[in-house]
Amino acid sequence: MLLGQVTTFLWPLKTCLFFVAFVCACGLSLVFPIVGIVNYMLVYQLHPGKMWWGQPLDDLGIRYSMTAAMCLVLGMLLSAGRVPKSRVLLGSWLTLVLFFTGIVLWSFALNPGSTDYGAILADKMVKMAIFLICLVRMGSIRGNFKILLWTFVAGTIVIGYDAFGAPQDDFADGRLNFVGGPDFRESSGLAVHMAAMLPLIGVVFMVTKAKHWRAIAGISGILAVNTVVLCRTRSAFVGLLAGVAIALLMVPRGWRLKIYSSIIVGCIGAMSLADQHFWDRMTTILRPADYASDGAIQSRIELWTVAHEMFLDHPFGVGVGRFKDYAHLYNTGDYRYAFDEPGRVAHNSYLLCITELGIHGFAVFVLIICVVLHRIRRCFKLAKDSDDPASSRLMAYGCFLSVVVYLASAAFTDRLYTESFWWVLALPICLDRALAFEVARQEETDWELNPAWSPLYDDEPQYIPAANSPRCAFT
């Protein structure tokens, strides 16, 4: 006991600061649940157990994410008055997420020989579903939604600074690894995460009026771009190209000059940070003749062929986490790169979904994405009648671009069980609820609920005017 106390006093300063901040955040979560959301998301992005300043805390046996999540849920129960009110318990998107989680659990229980890796993914999906329920509920008002955006800014700064000072040992073949949260400690995942953060950081930069806060958001964007360059990942580059193309085509009114200027400045800055090695990798995308000699590209093509054959043999899925186990059954002489090392992954989130969870799991996953896109479309419509139409349109625009970057990148890397991927999908749901609440609040209060409304189709109930009401609210 005495030795433990002495060891505690010998903790580095950063270790002490993190420990005090984490304990305070857990305590504040019981009174202010939104702090619990921020605490959980930052702990996920920092991954303290892998940081040098977090290793002295290993002897305490703290499960940071679990502790933060438990304090969050307990805070929402104890401080219900600070939880945004909602007319519906779940709504269509969360209902589909829970249904998808059930499919994951069913695939794990149904398939014989399920591995420990599959158990980890199934357990993780349950935890993600619980947190997504809390996230959507807490993020459904404008103030809390902005806090979520700033949480991404803060997490990007920490990860980007860690990447900026990464030692040479963290690079493999010139690509950065071992930085960031548990879901993106390899170059592809890290680059995709940081690429998806750029539109959200851009939103924060533009809607923030104070110059010093805008400077912080600007630094976050620079660090994000630098990290993407250090990772030298083609999947993230494709996602960014898709995001920039959509960004140029769908600029909201009132923001065109600022957004065009920001995109131009960002592209110039990225080109100045990129070295020849980065461009050598990116330009291979435009040279199909070289695909056969590029091991990374050819292995993906071969693995996608394997995934297609696997789906035809097992249309209802091989079970969560079992693609890498079944892939070896297709190891024939036709494949040169797909099996050059054991445990190869699909490198495609959509193929991973349909091979592991079957056609029914893939159908639910597609429905989840469709609901997200529908909510984004509705956010643009609601923005004109919200409390701040200009910033509301910009926030809907940023959420859409972030979703586009992640969905495009997911076609070339595995992001299906990545938490930040699901957070990005949840943001439009939060914004939709926040804007719908603002619009409904501005309408007449004398309304009657439409009894035909169903939570399976709309996150907010439709309204019909009462007998003496002059006009109709948002439907």
- Summarised one tens digit per residue, pLDDT across range 211-236 is 999 999 999 999 999 999 999 888 99
33 and 176 in a common domain? no
Confidence of residue 460 (pLDDT cuts 50, 70, 90): very low
pLDDT tens-digit map of 317-356? 888 988 888 888 887 766 766 666 666 788 899 999 999 9
The mean per-residue pLDDT over the stretch 439-462 comes to 49
What is the percent of the chain with per-residue pLDDT over 90, rounded to a whole number? 45
DSSP per residue, 70-126: HHHHHHHHHTGGGSPP-SSSS-HHHHHHHHHHHHHHHHHHHSTT--HHHHHHHHHHH
Confidence of residue 97 (pLDDT cuts 50, 70, 90): very high
- Domain ranges, residue 7: 1-83
74 and 141 in a common domain? no
421 and 373 in a common domain? yes
233 and 164 in a common domain? yes
* pLDDT higher at 446 or 330: 330
pLDDT of residue 470: 34
202 and 169 in a common domain? yes
What mean pLDDT value characterizes the chain? 84
Of the listed ranges 148-162, 184-198, 419-433, the one predicted with least confidence: 184-198
Gyration radius (Cα) of the chain, Å = 23
Distance (Å) of CA 429 to CA 96, 105, 297, 368: 13, 24, 35, 11
What is the percent of the chain with per-residue pLDDT over 70, rounded to a whole number? 87
**What one-letter code names the amino acid at 285?**
I
373 and 227 in a common domain? yes
Phi-psi category of residue 425: left, alpha or beta, with phi > 0 → left and psi -120 to 50 → alpha: alpha
In a domain, 462, yes or no: no
Q: Is residue 449 over pLDDT 80?
A: no
Cβ atoms 281, 228 nearer than 8 A:
no
Q: How many domains does the chain have?
A: 2
Look at residues 83, 112, 147 and tell me which one is the last residue of a structural domain.
83
In a domain, 38, yes or no: yes
| CA–CA gap between residue 263 and residue 137 (Å, rounded) | 33
456 CA to centre of own chain: 24
Confidence of residue 10 (pLDDT cuts 50, 70, 90): confident
pLDDT of residue 18: 85
Q: Is residue 283 over pLDDT 70?
A: yes
CA nearest to 78, candidates 40, 145, 32, 38: 32
* pLDDT higher at 309 or 471: 309
pLDDT of residue 292: 66
pLDDT tens-digit map of 76-95? 999 988 898 877 778 899 99
376 and 277 in a common domain? yes
Look at residues 49, 83, 117 and tell me which one is the last residue of a structural domain.
83
> What's the DSSP call for residue 181?
S
Look at residues 83, 108, 138 and tell me which one is the last residue of a structural domain.
83
The mean per-residue pLDDT over the stretch 288-298 comes to 70
pLDDT tens-digit map of 34-76? 999 999 999 988 888 777 777 777 777 788 888 999 999 999 9
In a domain, 463, yes or no: no
pLDDT tens-digit map of 155-181? 999 999 988 988 888 887 778 888 877
Confidence of residue 374 (pLDDT cuts 50, 70, 90): very high
pLDDT of residue 133: 94
pLDDT of residue 61: 77
In a domain, 128, yes or no: yes
Confidence of residue 427 (pLDDT cuts 50, 70, 90): very high
pLDDT of residue 447: 42
pLDDT of residue 443: 66
145 and 43 in a common domain? no
pLDDT tens-digit map of 107-123? 888 776 667 888 888 99
67 and 131 in a common domain? no
Q: Is residue 363 over pLDDT 90?
A: yes
Cβ atoms 356, 104 nearer than 8 A:
no
In a domain, 358, yes or no: yes
Report helix angle 419-442 to 92-110, nearest 10.
160
The mean per-residue pLDDT over the stretch 94-109 comes to 92
| CA–CA gap between residue 235 and residue 281 (Å, rounded) | 11
Confidence of residue 376 (pLDDT cuts 50, 70, 90): very high
E strand or H helix at 448: strand 447-449
118 and 206 in a common domain? yes
| CA–CA gap between residue 250 and residue 110 (Å, rounded) | 45
In a domain, 177, yes or no: yes
In a domain, 132, yes or no: yes
Q: Position of tokens 């030795």?
A: 3
The mean per-residue pLDDT over the stretch 14-38 comes to 91
The mean per-residue pLDDT over the stretch 374-381 comes to 94
In a domain, 330, yes or no: no
The mean per-residue pLDDT over the stretch 182-202 comes to 89
pLDDT of residue 422: 95
| CA–CA gap between residue 347 and residue 233 (Å, rounded) | 13
197 and 134 in a common domain? yes
CA nearest to 252, candidates 392, 365, 58: 392
pLDDT of residue 453: 39
pLDDT of residue 5: 45
The mean per-residue pLDDT over the stretch 370-393 comes to 92
103 and 73 in a common domain? no
| CA–CA gap between residue 51 and residue 168 (Å, rounded) | 16
CA nearest to 353, candidates 307, 313, 309, 312: 307
The mean per-residue pLDDT over the stretch 187-192 comes to 89
pLDDT of residue 333: 66
State phi, psi for 195 to the nearest 5 degrees. -65, -40
